[in-house]
Amino acid sequence: MPRTASKNLHVLIVGAGTSGLLIAQGLKKASIPFTIFEHESSSTYQSRPREWGMTLHWGSSHLASCLPPHLLARLNEAYADPTQSADATTGLPVFNGETGEQIMEMGAQGPCRVSRRKMRNLFSEGINVRYGMEMVGAEVRGDGRVEVVFGDGTRVLGDVLVGCDGAKSKVRESVVGVEDAGLTDVPISMFNFPYKFEAGLAVRVRGLNPLFSMSIHPESGTMFWLSIQDILGDDPATWTFQILLTFPDATLPPSTDLSTQAARHALFQSRAATYAEPWRSVGLALSPSTPIPLDRASYWSRAAAWDNRSGRMTLCGDAAHPLTPHRGQGLNLALQDAEAYVAAMKSVVDGKGLKEAVDGYDKMVLERGVREMGVSLKQTLDIHDWGTVMESPMAKLGMRRAEE
């Protein structure tokens, strides 16, 4: 006979990012058994070279129901600057990159920059993460249990599975199929990397705003972002910043080849040279030995109601709605999803039908996700065209929830 949901419900979580860990904390708080898996090893989980920051704003309201009070009280440990006050800034200043003039502020609800690594470390306290477990497939067996298969041949059984494994989610592939799970590229490319400046330039950059700044160049159609990544003390030379330069592919000469680091450096510095200060100096300061990754903006254009196998398999966070990055919503949506998933599991333990509970969760996650993917995509396209900057979501909505 198929196994039915009960107080013995065991949740399998694939992905120990912020959403997966918040679900784990919420289930632990509710005394619901779970196992959480992460494809990275315990060492690479801590030492990955491509760490970056995230903007936390309205999503912070979804933490208290899942985190135990002693961790919630230490949330500032996840901040890029742990000494940041709650009123450090009211939003993201946006500048004309050519003149240096501020053209608007992208308003936000109590914004702060958090370190992805620091937040994961805080959220993982007291959680037994099974590292080095790369999922390769999952299915619901005849007895109603979910079986997850990992790359080393390990097979794990549980009652339900939630995929928190990011934009290129393997769980999403298992739920909707590889083709329908695929991402759609946007013709916007990105350089995104951390950097430390000499003290004087670090002070000038942070002088734009304690947390972050965005500049948009009217001629080249590029967006130049600077934000704090890791502030460990009072010496500005030790501060780490996040640098993000995004540009429409159409602005590149047809013969451009960005496959080499030398070519990426040349493009970054040539674009930065057209900017006002301090962005111009940021370009000049960049060491030739600095690795510059090249990425493409993407989203899940095929998102549609998925078969959750009567509530047994579903998605959360970037696995459910991978966004283009220019509106700063990804983390906040993921935290809202995590709280909602924990609430759904608690309702099942209290007697609600599993299918009913997860159907309701899925409906909310899909509606929010599709809406925000559309708004974020519009933001990404609008801000790379000077003629549409003032019509972009950042001018109309700021960082507020799209439904507002």
pLDDT digits (tens, 9 = 90+) for 332-364: 999 999 999 999 999 999 999 999 999 999 999
Clarify whether residues 204 and 269 are in a common domain: yes
Structure confidence at residue 7 (pLDDT): 56
Clarify whether residues 261 and 303 are in a common domain: no
Does the pLDDT value for residue 47 go beyond 90? no
Choose the final residue of a domain: 297, 317, 332. Answer: 297
Task: Examine residue 51 and state whether it is found in any structural domain, yes or no.
Answer: yes
Q: What's the whole-number mean pLDDT along residues 92-104?
A: 97
Clarify whether residues 42 and 27 are in a common domain: yes
What's 323's domain CATH number?
3.50.50.60
- Report d(CA 140, CA 158) in Å as an integer: 10
- Report d(CA 344, CA 303) in Å as an integer: 21
Clarify whether residues 135 and 206 are in a common domain: no
Q: What's the whole-number mean pLDDT along residues 187-216?
A: 97
Task: Examine residue 216 and state whether it is found in any structural domain, yes or no.
Answer: yes
Clarify whether residues 206 and 173 are in a common domain: no
CA angle 331, 333, 339 (to 5 degrees): 105
Task: Examine residue 99 and state whether it is found in any structural domain, yes or no.
Answer: no
Mean pLDDT over all residues of the chain? Answer: 95
Task: Examine residue 403 and state whether it is found in any structural domain, yes or no.
Answer: no
CA neighbor of 116 nearest in space, from 279, 249, 230, 266: 230
DSSP letter for each residue of 131-192: -S--EEEEEE-TTS-EEEEETTS-EEEESEEEE---TT-HHHHHHH-HHHH--EEEEEEEEE
Structure confidence at residue 3 (pLDDT): 39
Task: Examine residue 162 and state whether it is found in any structural domain, yes or no.
Answer: yes
What's 201's domain CATH number?
3.30.9.30
| Structural domains in the chain (count) | 2
Clarify whether residues 55 and 157 are in a common domain: yes
List the domain range (segments joined by +) for residue 213: 188-297
Task: Examine residue 103 and state whether it is found in any structural domain, yes or no.
Answer: no
Does the pLDDT value for residue 48 go beyond 80? no
Does the pLDDT value for residue 377 go beyond 90? yes
Q: Which two tokens stand for residue 184?
A: 């759609």
Furthest-apart CA pair in the chain: how many Å?
70
Q: What's the whole-number mean pLDDT along residues 279-283?
A: 98
Task: Examine residue 85 and state whether it is found in any structural domain, yes or no.
Answer: no
Clarify whether residues 281 and 291 are in a common domain: yes
Clarify whether residues 133 and 205 are in a common domain: no
Does the pLDDT value for residue 28 go beyond 50? yes
Give the rounded percent of residues in the chain with a pLDDT score beyond 90. Answer: 92
Clarify whether residues 289 and 158 are in a common domain: no
Query: Which pTM value belongs to this model?
Result: 0.96
Clarify whether residues 48 and 71 are in a common domain: yes
Task: Examine residue 198 and state whether it is found in any structural domain, yes or no.
Answer: yes
Structure confidence at residue 86 (pLDDT): 80
Clarify whether residues 231 and 358 are in a common domain: no
- Ranges assigned E (strand) in 196-259: 212-216, 223-230, 240-248
Q: What's the whole-number mean pLDDT along residues 180-193?
A: 98
Contacts of 58 (CB under 8 A, 6+ apart): 108, 109, 332, 399, 400, 401
pLDDT tier for residue 6 given thresholds of 50, 70 and 90:
very low
CA neighbor of 327 nearest in space, from 385, 379, 386: 379
In the three-class reduction of DSSP (H, G, I as helix; E, B as strand; rest coil), residue 263 is classed as helix
Yes or no: say if 390 and 382 are a contact pair by the CB < 8 Å rule. no
Choose the final residue of a domain: 265, 297, 329. Answer: 297
Clarify whether residues 291 and 319 are in a common domain: no
Does the pLDDT value for residue 2 go beyond 80? no
Q: Which two tokens stand for residue 51?
A: 């760490």
Choose the final residue of a domain: 297, 329, 355. Answer: 297
